[in-house]
Every structure is written in C-alpha cells, then in structure tokens.
Chains A and B, each alone.
Chain A
Amino acid sequence: MIVLGYRVRMEQRLSTPRSLLVMVPVFSVFFALVVGGIFLAATGHPPIGTYLKLVDNGYTSFYGITDTLGLATPLICTGLAAAFAFRMNLYSIGQEGQLYLGMIGGAWAGIALADSLPTLVAVPVVLLFGAFAGAMWVAVPALLRARLGTSEIVSTLLLNYVALNLLNYFIFGSTGFFRDPTTSFPQGRPVAESARLSPISFFTDKVTNTYPTFFIAVILAVVLFWLMRLSNYGYETAVYADSPNTARYAGMNSAWLQSSVLLISGALAGVGGAMYVVGPAGKVDPGLLQVGLGYAGIVVAALARYNFIAVIVAAVLFAGLRTGGNALQISSDPVPIAIAVVLQGAVLLFALGGELFRRNKVTISRVQAAAT
C-alpha cells in the first residue's frame, strides 16, 4: 500500500456540536499560551513560572480577582459595544475613542450637574451623559455609513486618534473646564462627591478596585441579550446581518438600522468611560489611555462570538490577563506588560482559525495508489 498523500475534505455543518463551542475557545487559549511561552522563553523568562504568577495575580488572589473585576467593568462595555456592531457586520473600531468621550461626557456631568443631586440620581446622570457623548462620537461615521456608505472601519478608527488628542488637550493642553484649577499639576478637575461610588469590599475591611458599576455592566449585558432576542428591533438587525437584501425587501429601513446600531454601540462604549469616572478615577484621567480597553473590547467580542453573555466571561478572562501582566511587570523578574496584549491577539487569531472547525466537518483521508 503506497500513501500518495493526504486529502483534506471539508463538509459544512448544519449544526455545531455543543462540545466544540467549548473546545474552540479552550484550545485557542491553550495555543495562545504556547505562542506566548515561546516568546517568554526566547527573552529569558521561564514560561510556566511566569504564567503561574500571572494566574495568581490575575485570578486567584483576593486583590487579583477584585482588580480583575474592576478592570473588566469598562471592558465589558467596550466588548458589548463591539459585539453589538460586529454582529450586524458593522465593523466599528472606534470603541477606544468613544470610551474617552464617555469619560469626558461623564466627567462634564459630574462636575457641572451632580453637585446638587443625590447619588442615586447623580450616578445615572453621569452614566447617561457618558453614553450620550460616546454615541455622539460615532454619529458622524454612522451618518456617513448610512447615507453615503463610507466604510465605518477607517472613519471610526481615525476618530480614535482625534479623541486621544482631544483628551490630551483637555488635560495637558489647556487650563479649561476639565483641568483641576487648584493645582498647577496637569490633572482633571474632580467630579462632585455625589457622583462617585465607593468600592465593594466583599464583606472584608479591605479597599478593593471593584466598583458597583461592575454589576451595572453585567446587567447591561443580560438586558441586551434578552432585548435583542425578544424585541422586534433585535429581529430586524438579525435579518439585516444575515442578508441586507432580504431586510430591504421586507421593508426594513437599512439606513436607520445601520446608524442606530452604530449609535447604540457608541453609547455602550461611552458608558464604559463614564463608569471609569464614577468608579476609580473621579475625573478626566489619562490612566484610561494606558490600557487599550477599546481595542481589547473587539477581541473580547470576537472571542465571545458576539454573544452578549459570553462577553462578560471573555472580558473577565482578558482583564485577568491584564492585571496579572501588571503584577509581572513590577515583580523581581520584570516581564513587559505587553505580553498580555500578545496573548490577547494570539487568542483571537487561534479562535478565528478554530471557526473553520466549528463551521465545517474536517476529515483527513489518505490517498492511496490502486492495488495491483
């Protein structure tokens, strides 16, 4: 018997086995860890030891978990924002900028409006203004997309750089409204106390970095999940995502669908920025810039396959990578925090490859010479 070669056959699956829904993400994470391990080893860091430290600092220790949940809060929002747009094939990558604008909008409300309001009112007002600012930041790309068909990919992305410079202007470039007037040191003006929430202590006397906004983010995800499943609007977007022509023939307003989805997506990312104000920052703060939560939100959404509930899980997973990575950076054998970003990118690349196995049944057979 002579083996001439291998032949790969792909058959499209009609339904995906449940096991694969778990296997693909698990294997994606595993292979990403292997890739990251290669780079760790190549730069002289022990891979296994580094990962154990990362897991301990990101997921298993008390402060690890609470830091992770705190970081996951805005990440859930940007993840939801990306999922909301991507599932309708609108590839908005402006979450980063919308997040900044959410912070600016939220801080504006926190400074200008919240003073005379009780916390129960002030916090929602700040969050709403953040949402509004985030939505406004995507309004131009949304309008262009709906009216002229301008690719939202590049337009939203370009606005990220504009938002970045706008934020720099408010904090470093000007002495205006958002700048703390009491000090010459460039920092944001603090919002009213009533617009702040205190961290959750989880029945201990420790001060954590998890804020009640985490639960707001989770509730937001659950509400979105059911709303999009049960509402007419959810149905229309689903039809449009599958086949824009079908939606058009059925009389759905595609311009309205496209622009509203982008606006809601922007609002979701904006809420994340406002949560940063309500929670840890209390002002317009450049700390949000360092983390890249907007871009990470896209990875989270893709890994969650645009399922809003799964976004929560993916966001916590990724936030853990980040907090774990932070701890690595300041340990005795400092590993650059960028390893967390490498892992994020690698997870997504492998998950994308895994899609093939989810969609198709792959069989490899040997091609044999005919017996003589």
Chain B
Amino acid sequence: MRGNAIHPPSDEELNVYIRTRYQLLGVDISVLPESDPDAPMDQERLLENGRSILRQEVVAADFDIDPQFNLPVPHPAPFVAWTEEVEQ
C-alpha cells in the first residue's frame, strides 16, 4: 500500500526531473526555442512528451505479469525457432 507521502508529481516537478536527467547526461535542450509552434521542435513540446513518457512508467509498473512464466525476450519471433517451437 502506498503511504500518504506519495502523491502524483506535478508538471513542474516532472519538468525539473526531465531537465536534470538530460543535463546529467550532457544533453543541452536550451538550444531549442522555449515555445515556437513553427519550429521543428521546442522545449515546451519536448517536456510535454517527456512527462507523458514518465507517467507511462506507472502503467508499466502496474501491469501484473507472472515473472516465472514470462521471460523478457527482445526478439520474440525468431525466439520460437531458437526454442524449437517451429520445425527446423
């Protein structure tokens, strides 16, 4: 059960997190215009997308999957050949 201290982060909190993460990895997004719908990309759209990705983390975390029967497999289709589930 989640404690009372857990609350959904605000947009502003997520923006700080996103900017910090990019900065940590040496990626400078300040070269983009802050908000310019005519530009190929601006900081506003980039942060909006980033917040969406972060909030989807919750969806993934909440997805209940049996870890004993469902191994992570990056290439599922050829895996059926490697595991001899199709005739060679």
Partners in one complex: no
Identify the B interface with A (CB < 8 A).
Answer: none
